[in-house]
Amino acid sequence: MHGLPANLEDALLGLVREKLFEGGAPLTVETDLFAAGLDSMGIMQLMISIEERFGVRVPESAVTRDNFSTASSLAAMVRRCAAPA
Amino acid sequence: MKALSDSIVEAIFARAAEEPERAAFVGRDGELSFGRLVAEVERWATVIVRLPGFPAEGVARIGVRCPDGVQHAVLMLAVMRAGGCAVPVAGELPADERSMLARTTALHGVLSQGGQERAADESERHEIGGGLRWERLAAEEPCFPVEDFESVCPAFIRFSSGTTGASKGVVLSHGTLRERLDSANRRLGIGGTDRVLWTLPMAHHFAVSILLYLREGATVVLPEGSLAGDLLTAACQYGATVFYGSPFQAALLAAEASERDWPGLRLAVSTAAPLAPETAGAFVRRYGVRLAQGFGIIEAGLPLLSTSGEDSMVVGRPDDFELRLEGNGREGGLCLRGPGMFDAYLSPWCPRQEVMADGWFHTGDLARQEADGSIRLVGRLKSVINVGGSKCFPEEIEEVLRRHEGVVDARVHGEEHARWGMLPVADILPVDGTFPPTDGELSAHCRRRLAGYKIPVRYQMVSELPRTASGKVRRV
């Protein structure tokens, strides 16, 4: 287990910027990612990166609009995935 | 505009004329009847032939860069209706890959919706209505023999993955498309009463999908979004009868939280990547329909489909395709031939007759033939990395990594992964082993040049890379 960074929201925002959006789109932790163009390939890439970077497993049932809508909601999801069941 | 003759568009128009009131598309973009689809395609074809730079003679090579939706399908058909050859430009391609694609196919121009091109000459950019833009490109001298290319009556070019590395561009003619759809539908059995839930990226899946559904008079259901909840909502609202998607989407659907049923579902096909047994099990438990496993390759269409669903690596028994295993044993490289085989590789130009000089197309898959004649996939012979259905080649990723100033050489391979099938990982030989480039620097470097799924998920610094006798990096 990698342990989650304290500033998980920012780490996820960085990941979203790095992986998904070419150029410097002005994103914040509350930007609606679906409105910014998050599609199925993007979701797949986010899942891969989150699992690799934070050492968690994101179950298929967690792939919902609520969880993937912002960097902030992604962070909440990652914390739940990392919590012992 | 040229008259329609034996074109795939003519086949679709002929079917549309039988029931012009029937819906060709429903869902996110509203309902479009077959009658209106024909009118829209004709209207855009008329616009396209008048675009600046559309060649008066020969076959126009037109890129289509458009998000998934009715407009994407209309534009692709309109390019073909206008006598052109349509080249989908996937939305996820960064600028470098797009310009490589444009150069390799010597595009006359690109029709696009959304997105912003930065490098283009403003004077060659034209707003053409409907939120669409035509970008005329400098007519570079094609690196393929134009006469040979045009002689096959090309309708469609698709790159099997990236535009560099080992991807060559697959040319499909109108005749090939018609044969291919007939052949694939012998296995799929899609008809006018079907409603097919659309889940895949259109730039990667168009022939044995959109073209096939429209030609059979079936309705394409476009969901609002790509999440499982969106798919299921559209499926129920519009009475979808067919699911054709990736194993990942099947897994998402099987795990969807609302516990809604999909009562109208009669055929579910998983394609593009190996289906995990857990996904197959979860899907049939949830929806009561076994996932059929399709074996689709761009050179051959959908030559195999397993409907038994008992073992997810079994891709079916050959019917109108002939199969052979290299070495003529029970296990070997899978070779096939049958109706609707591709016409040529574009770059470097190589017609099918030469590719299949021994009479067979070598798929690069390692397969075994079971006692009942069905084919089981057991591995890959080629270096392709299949990331959840999106394919790339190690060579193209290595080539990009080598361009980083801190990298002497790189070796990429696909690491097996339970959910995605494979993920690219890289061994890096750094210029300076004491201060090697960071993962973040390497990823950012790749991000500007490669589609996201091709970016290695991990980088391992090494002090040497194993080589073959000829000096090439030895593949894992």
ipTM: 0.83
Whether the per-residue pLDDT at B161 is higher than 90: the answer is no
Residues B142 and B194 in one domain: no
Boundary of a domain, candidates B149, B175, B201: B175
Whether the per-residue pLDDT at B350 is higher than 50: the answer is yes
Residues B360 and B222 in one domain: yes
Range of the domain at B359: 176-343+352-380
Q: Does A29 contact chain B (CB < 8 Å)?
A: no
Give residue B163's pLDDT.
36
Query: What pLDDT digit, counting tens, does each position of B208-264 carry?
Result: 999 999 999 999 999 999 899 999 999 999 999 999 999 999 999 999 989 899 999
Contact assignment for B229 to A65 by CB distance below 8 Å = yes
Confidence of residue A83 (pLDDT cuts 50, 70, 90): confident
Whether the per-residue pLDDT at B470 is higher than 70: the answer is no
For the packed helices B34-49 and B70-81, what is the interaxial angle rounded to 10 degrees? 60
Confidence of residue B115 (pLDDT cuts 50, 70, 90): low
Whether the per-residue pLDDT at B179 is higher than 50: the answer is yes
- Phi, psi angle pair for B172, to nearest 5°: -120, 130
CA dist B200 and B57 (Å) reads 35
Contact assignment for B225 to A65 by CB distance below 8 Å = yes
Whether the per-residue pLDDT at B447 is higher than 80: the answer is yes
> Residue A34: closest CA among chain B residues belongs to which residue?
B225
Q: Does domain A8-82 have CATH number 3.40.50.620?
A: no
Contact assignment for A18 to B255 by CB distance below 8 Å = no
Query: What pLDDT digit, counting tens, does each position of B42-53 carry?
Result: 999 999 999 999
CA dist B18 and B217 (Å) reads 9
Which one of A19, A34, A59 has the shortest CB-CB distance to B452?
A19
Residues B57 and B119 in one domain: yes
Confidence of residue A24 (pLDDT cuts 50, 70, 90): low
**Smallest Cα distance from A19 to chain B, Å:** 6
Q: Residue B457: its chain A contacts at CB < 8 A?
A: 48-49, 52
Contact assignment for A40 to B444 by CB distance below 8 Å = no
B273 contacts B247 by C-beta, under 8 angstroms: yes
B142 contacts B87 by C-beta, under 8 angstroms: no
Whether the per-residue pLDDT at B311 is higher than 50: the answer is yes
Within 10 angstroms of residue A7's Cβ, the number of other Cβ atoms is: 12
CATH number at residue B418: 3.30.300.30
Cβ pairs A/B, distance under 8 A: 66
Q: pLDDT over 90 for what percent of chain B?
A: 68
Boundary of a domain, candidates B126, B149, B175: B175
Boundary of a domain, candidates B175, B203, B223: B175
DSSP annotation string for A27-48 = --TTS-TTTTT--HHHHHHHHH
Residues B269 and B416 in one domain: no
Residues B365 and B400 in one domain: no
Give residue B431's pLDDT.
94
Q: Residue A42: its chain B contacts at CB < 8 A?
A: 452
Q: pLDDT over 70 for what percent of chain B?
A: 94
Domain boundaries, chain A: 8-82
Q: Residue A52: its chain B contacts at CB < 8 A?
A: 423, 457-458
Contact assignment for B227 to A43 by CB distance below 8 Å = yes
Whether the per-residue pLDDT at B121 is higher than 70: the answer is no
